[in-house]
Structure 1
Amino acid sequence: MISTPEYDLSTATWHKSSYSGGSGGDCVEVADAHPDLVPVRDSKVPDGPHLTFRGPVWKAFLTSL
């Protein structure tokens, strides 16, 4: 995980996980179009904090699931 104050995500296009149900439960969103970075946030708190991972770290996380 890296610190993200230098990245402007105000115009990011966020995508909800395909595993998220329509019941408004726990949902994760990721933003694309950021070279080598994967911004992640809680869909229930879109203006809240987010985490940003380097691409290889995110890939390793997904692989481990």
Structure 2
Amino acid sequence: MKIKADTGVCVGAGMCALTAPEVFDQSEEDGTVVLLQPEPPASREAAARRAVQLCPSGALSLEE
């Protein structure tokens, strides 16, 4: 699984970083998503999938 993030669409809500802090963070400059683990290990996949689902702007997507 690979995560893709479109920082141009991101609104900085932070749901991703709250849901999967090992996988996502937020930029200190504008609060947009920062991918810490674009290809998270199996142990973090469920949280990463949930974070993608919760993203209010649709800035996150999965590639299997």
Q: Same fold (TM over 0.5)?
A: no
Q: Which has the higher contact order (CA 8 A, sep 6+)?
A: 2
TM-score (norm 2): 0.30
Higher helix share: 2
Rg comparison, structure with higher value: 1
